[in-house]
Amino acid sequence: MLKVENLTVNYGYINALNNVNFEVNKGEIITLIGGNGAGKTTTLMSISNLVAKESGRLTFKGADITNLPPHKLVKMGLSHVPEGRKIFPALTVYENLIAGSLGNTDLKKPQINELVQKMYQLFPRLKERCDQGGGTLSGGEQQMLAIARGLMMDPDIIMLDEPSLGLAPIIVEEIFELILKIRDEGKTVLLIEQNASMALSIADRGYVLETGRVVLEGTGKELLNNSDVQKAYLGD
Amino acid sequence: MKHFIDTIKSTYGKYKVIVWIICSLLLLIFPALIPSNYVMGVVCRILFYATLAGSLNVINGYSGQMCIGHAGFFCIGAYIEAILATQYHINFWVLLLVGGIITAIIGGLIALPTLRMQGIYLSIITLGFSEVVRLIALNWTSVTGGAMGVKGIKSPTLLGFTLSSPKQYYYIFLVIGIVFIFVTNRIINSRTGSAWISIREDELAARSLGIEIKKYKILNFMYGAFWAGVMGAAYAPYTRYIDSTYFSLDEGFNILSMVIIGGQGTLIGPILGAAVVNSLTELLRSFSEWRMVAYAVLIIAMMWLRPQGLVGASDSVLAGDKMKKKKIKVLAKEEK
């Protein structure tokens, strides 16, 4: 579904990504893991064209999307939930959700309302807090809101950037269960995580990034049992 | 106090239609109730500034861009009306639209190179723009009359009546104000308005949600400039004479302070801000220079005690129960 070929990104003279290749198939949960500065976030940012690419080719559903601006990507069904949640704190939960649907101009009012109800089903906590300011939610709820907002544009693939960032372990578990649920709804998930054990345990396949290169790839299980991965990321 | 407010609210809820009819009637016959032309002049100024501050509020309050050179847009609208009316005798009502449209185009041109700028940098550009416009008005003598200004701007006519006194002008400003509030309300609640608010809240997040930042920012500037142009065009024949001193930086800050005192990002805010600032200016007229001091103290106190403005965020009584209404709407939908 989404194919990344020879992606290279430079920040000035610093090389952030070097010939990264990976592929996401429909209905999969794919995870990119790696330490700080490995280039995980940069990968997502360059897919949704928020940073400039040096070289490389991106295809999504068979179409070349290498140089498409973000608003066109959204229409094609690619949603990016940025790192650090970035919800709109002064808007209510409901308004945040509506903002998520703005980018996809194909959506009409009844469809948007339907999507809101669907989000409330998927995230019952957001329903309870639908008229509360986004900034007053707890960290976990804010993350749920960010994911729900990303789903509001009715994407085919949703890219999540560190959804577990700064959350208590029990909340992290809840978030990962939600990710599984989202997959079961028929969405494809590209997940970027530092929490490697959790991410690999729910992922169909995974890629390990190190200083801008893909150094390892395999199914979630394979990577979990790989001794290098265990040493570097799982702390065994 | 809370009980008192609740009583008012419930009474309002019961007699909503009647309250609206009485208010509109009052607004209609208002000039007949006030005999003094001086008071009517102040009322006209309040109405006029309410719309002008409202148009700035669209830019500053809703999309979070920081424009402080609104006097520049106002100036362009006023000069377009003044020049075209005195030299080419074009109808006032046509010029209202022409002034608005040309100013909107210029607003769009200003927005283009400043798309990447935010906050203080954008403020400096708009400030510079406002001064450039004023200096052009001052020095392009062959067209604008230079320091002499434009004299003898004709009063508008409607169905054979000439509208010249504040009492008659009241209706022009009132109608423009109502149209402005109506149209802006529709836009704010549409996709465009939501996009503006998202940009104000977090530009990067808005971009990752697929909102076309550039398009909506330019639209926002053009819409704000449009109404400033319309108000400029309405203002020129009201004073009958304009020159560049009307459109100094002071004027720009004056408009800005009404938006800030009233409350940015609310429709009522600028109206209230215009009312407070203009009444205060009149009340303190006898204190001459001390007026400015009182004015400064007011702004400092506002920033300290209520930075969100008089109407401000949703907790204010004046802002209404917007949240409550929404919740009811959502719940009603679920029950269906």
Annotated domain spans of chain A: 2-234
B310 touching A (Cβ < 8 Å): no
- Closest chain B CA to residue A154: B209
Quote the pLDDT of residue A84: 82
At A64, list the tokens.
């070349």
Quote the pLDDT of residue B103: 94
Distances (CA, A) of A154 to A39, A61, A118, B108, B178: 27, 15, 11, 32, 38
Distance of alpha carbon A145 from alpha carbon A183, whole angstroms: 17
Quote the pLDDT of residue B317: 47
3-state secondary structure chain B: CHHHHHHHHHHHHHCHHHHHHHHHHHHHHHHHHCCCHHHHHHHHHHHHHHHHHHHHHHHHHHCCCCCCCHHHHHHHHHHHHHHHHHHHCCCHHHHHHHHHHHHHHHHHHHHCCCCCCCHHHHHHHHHHHHHHHHHHHHHCHHHHCHHHCECCCCCCEECCEECCCHHHHHHHHHHHHHHHHHHHHHHHCCHHHHHHHHHHHCHHHHHHCCCCHHHHHHHHHHHHHHHHHHHHHHHHHHHCCECHHHHCHHHHHHHHHHHHHHCCCCCHHHHHHHHHHHHHHHHCHHHCCHHHHHHHHHHHHHHHHCCCCCCCCCCCCCCCCHHHHHHHHHHHHHHC
A86 touching B (Cβ < 8 Å): yes
Query: How is domain A2-234 classified at the architecture level of CATH?
Result: 3-Layer(aba) Sandwich (3.40)
At B82, list the tokens.
């003044």
Quote the pLDDT of residue B19: 84
Domains and CATH numbers, chain B: 1-33 (no CATH), 34-335 (1.10.3470)
**Residue environment code for B117-145, b if the CB has 16+ CB neighbours within 10 A, otherwise e:** eeeeebbebbbebbbebbebbbeeeeebb
Quote the pLDDT of residue A205: 92
Distance of alpha carbon A160 from alpha carbon A150, whole angstroms: 9
What is the crossing angle of helices B191-201 and B213-239, to 10°? Answer: 100
Which residue, among B244, B271, B250, has the nearest Cα to B259 in the 3D structure? B271
B197 touching A (Cβ < 8 Å): yes
Residue A81's DSSP bridge partners are A160
Tell me which chain A residues have a C-beta less than 8 angstroms from the C-beta of B115. Answer: none
Contact assignment for A48 to B197 by CB distance below 8 Å: no
Contact assignment for B194 to A98 by CB distance below 8 Å: yes
- Tens of pLDDT along A117-176? 999 998 888 988 888 888 889 888 999 999 999 999 989 999 999 888 888 888 899 899
Q: How far is CA A90 from the centre of its chain?
A: 24
- Classify A127 as helix, strand or coil: helix
CA dihedral A175, A176, A180, A183 (to 10 degrees): 70
CA atoms within 13 A on the CB side of B73: 35
Quote the pLDDT of residue A236: 57
Contact assignment for A117 to B209 by CB distance below 8 Å: no
Mutate to test the interface with A, among B198, B208, B216, B217 (most CBs of A within 10 A): B208
ipTM of the complex: 0.79
CB atoms within 10 A of CB B37: 12
Prediction pTM value: 0.82
* Burial (CB count <10 Å: 0-12, 13-18, 19+), residue A63: exposed
Distance of alpha carbon A67 from alpha carbon A73, whole angstroms: 10
Quote the pLDDT of residue B13: 76
Distance of alpha carbon B308 from alpha carbon B15, whole angstroms: 31
Distances (CA, A) of A62 to A45, A65, A74: 20, 9, 16
B204 touching A (Cβ < 8 Å): yes
Quote the pLDDT of residue B228: 93
Quote the pLDDT of residue B320: 45
Non-local CB neighbours of B217 within 8 Å, separated by 6+ positions: B63, B65, B111, B115, B199
- Closest chain A CA to residue B210: A71
In the block, tokens 């309405």 appear at B234
Helices then strands, counting H and E runs in chain A, come out as 10, 10
Alpha helices for A17-105 (secondary structure H)? 40-47, 70-76, 93-101
Distance of alpha carbon B26 from alpha carbon B248, whole angstroms: 35
Quote the pLDDT of residue B1: 65
- Classify A17 as helix, strand or coil: strand
Quote the pLDDT of residue B327: 47
Long-range contacts of A204-208 (CB under 8 A, 24+ apart): A204/A28, A204/A29, A204/A30, A205/A28, A205/A30, A205/A31, A206/A30, A206/A31, A206/A32, A206/A33, A207/A22, A207/A30, A207/A31, A207/A32, A207/A33, A208/A32, A208/A33, A208/A34, A208/A233
Distance of alpha carbon A78 from alpha carbon A2, whole angstroms: 9
B323 touching A (Cβ < 8 Å): yes
CB–CB contacts below 8 A, A to B: 80
B202 touching A (Cβ < 8 Å): yes
Rounded mean pLDDT for each run of 10 residues along chain B, 336 residues in total: 75 81 84 82 90 91 86 92 87 89 92 79 88 89 81 78 80 91 91 89 85 90 93 89 86 87 86 88 80 82 80 53 47 50
Quote the pLDDT of residue B322: 47
> Do B319 and B269 form a contact (C-beta atoms < 8 A)?
no
Q: Which residues of chain A have pLDDT under 50?
A: none
Quote the pLDDT of residue B223: 93
> Do A78 and A1 form a contact (C-beta atoms < 8 A)?
no
